[in-house]
Each structure stands twice: as structure tokens, then as C-alpha cells.
A and B are shown apart, each in its own frame.
Chain A
């Protein structure tokens, strides 16, 4: 009898898949119901979805205007500006103005805060002239191919576009540096050197550009003609 007892197969209670599944589901349900977990997740969602606390600004030309919103366009991008009685309006000379002074076609700067729909709730709207704000600077990375002996003009050909050339004019305001930001002079610029020039179209001479800054990438401080002055 005793032997029978010991030889009787005793089936071990293995962890069944159903027991595991139930445990996992229980844990998930418990987490979902846990108020602390819910609160943390809600706060994170609110943070992501809430309006930005950083002020934003948009510029553009008015294409639509009423007493609740203004639509502006700038470089093929549209922006909706929401307005209310709290908005401060200013004219182009920064004198106080009012909404009725703004019309379709007027350029404006609107400052405020973005909402969840990417619309700007305006706080200040200022009349501007976009043409005067344009950044006409161009950056040319090229080689000097010619330096005039009689005038402060040199010709550079861009490294990436050898089919074009730029006639650039220096003046007393032109800043010239080596690649380590040490100030040098126009005497340190020679034909064949690689430079980066920051230029703008000259208003008086066609096909000529005024250069505000030159970075001479090939200037070597050990050159006999080197006359470095001070760092920028």
C-alpha cells in the first residue's frame, strides 16, 4: 500500500498559460485603474497638447481680415492670427494704432502664443514693410581669379559653380579675417586664394557686389606679407 502511494503518479501543478495570461491582464487592469498612474499620464498629455508658453511671431501680408482673425501669407505659407479686444496695434512708426487701420495688402508682424491648432493668439500686431527687412546677404565660397590694380575690385568664381563669377568691391568697412578669425588686410589677399565672401548687390553699380566680410581660407600666417592685427 505504502509503495503504491509512492509510486502513484502525482501530477505537479504547472503554471498554465491561462494563469500567466490572467496575471498579466490583472496587472494591466490594476495599472489602468491606479489613480496615480492615470494622473501622470494625463499630465504628460496635457503638457504635449497645451498651448506653447513661449511667445511666437509671424510676418506676412494680410490676405483676409475681420474682427476675429487675420490671415497672412509669407513666401507661400499662410498663417491664421486670432484677435480679440486685448490686442495692441501699432503703425509702422510704432505709434499706437487700431484694427480698422489695417487692410488687405498691409504687411504685419504679429506676436503672441500658438494654440493647439497652430493658430497664433495675437497680443501685439505691428505694421511693417517686408521689403526693408529683406536679408540680401549672400555667402560665396570661391577662388579669387582677378584683383584690380586700380580699384578695390576683385573677381571670384564659386567653387560649386564655375560657370558664374562675382565682381566684388571692398571698402573701408570691409572686414577681412583669416580662417582662425584673426584680422588681416586686403594686402593678404592674392589671386588663387580660396575665400568666403559675404556680399550684397551694389545699389549703384550693376553686376557688382559690396563685400562686408572676407574670410581668407588660404592665408598662412608665416607668409612674408602677413600683417595680422587683432582677433575679431
Chain B
């Protein structure tokens, strides 16, 4: 009785393994026939997505970039720092209609020059002269106003 039981278990296990093996083999063939592709196409989360066109904030040409202040900005204090980057060790001259301020860029090209603004509209020119006497100028407009709006 016990012998038959053991035999039945062994036979059953053998049969099960065989069936499983056959199934897996068949499945592998089917997968190989298809070309697996994973299409990851992100769908919009919202239907109201507006195309992203960030407003440029830095004023620059190919030789000098003004990080701050932004062109066309309104500033509520008369003294403001002009920061930016140009070639290293350049002489920087910043002129308003009535005054001028100068400094130098450091050995990484960064500069930070304090400027006294005129009341109202300031048409400003930022000039950089590098150690090889190459000169570049960039204009920007800044308004000094304490008006609250």
C-alpha cells in the first residue's frame, strides 16, 4: 500500500514537471516570435498644459552676461548691485546718463559692482574691456521707483 502511494507521488511529480516544462518551452517560442517593445510615451497629466516658454531673465551677448538686475526691471532702492560674468580680469564700466561706476571681474570672470541709480528711467551701458583690450558693451534699462503698485 505504501509502496503504491510512493510510486503514485513520484509519477505525479514527474508528470507535473513534464507538463510545466512543456508549457514554458512553448511560451518561450511565442515570445521569441514577437518583437518586444516597451513604449514609454508619457501622456499629459493635464489637458490644459500650456507650452513652456520661460521668459529670458539675463541680459547678455556673446562676451558678457548680466545676471542682475534684469532688463526692464523696476527697483525700489537707489543703490543696486550689478552682477554678471565676462572674461576674467576685465575692467567693467557701468554708466548711467549722469554717472559712471567701475570695477574688475575676478579670475573666474565674475563681477559685482554697486551702482547709484537716477530716479525714474535709467538707460545703462555695461562695458567690459578684457586684458587683450577687446571691448564689448551691453545696454539695459532699469527704472528706479518707490511707487507702490
Contacts and interface: CB of A to CB of B under 8 A. Distances in A.
Interface of A: 1-2, 4-5, 8-11, 13, 16-18, 20-21, 24-25, 28, 32, 38, 41-42, 45, 48-49, 52, 54-59, 88, 109, 111-112, 114, 116, 118, 123-124, 126, 128, 133-137, 139, 141, 159-160, 179, 181, 196, 198, 212-213, 215, 217
A212 B123 CA distance: 17
Contacts of B38: 20-21, 24-25
Contacts of A198: 93, 95, 100
Given A21-B38, A25-B38, A139 B31 contact: no
A18 B31 contact: yes
Interface of B, secondary structure class, is: mixed
Given A141-B133, A196-B129, A198-B95, A48 B54 contact: yes
B105 interface: no
Given A45-B52, A139-B135, A59 B31 contact: no
B89 to A, nearest CB: 11
11 contacts: A2-B10, A9-B21, A11-B24, A18-B31, A32-B43, A55-B73, A55-B149, A118-B55, A124-B147, A135-B95, A139-B95
Interface string B20-35: 1100110010010000
A163 to B, nearest CB: 16
B93 A139 contact: yes
Contacts of A217: 91
B123 A134 contact: yes
Contacts of B134: 160
A27 B29 CA distance: 27
B17 A196 contact: no
Contact of B40 (A25, A109, A133, A137): A25
B1 interface: no
B119 to A, nearest CB: 10
A135 B97 contact: yes
B125 interface: yes
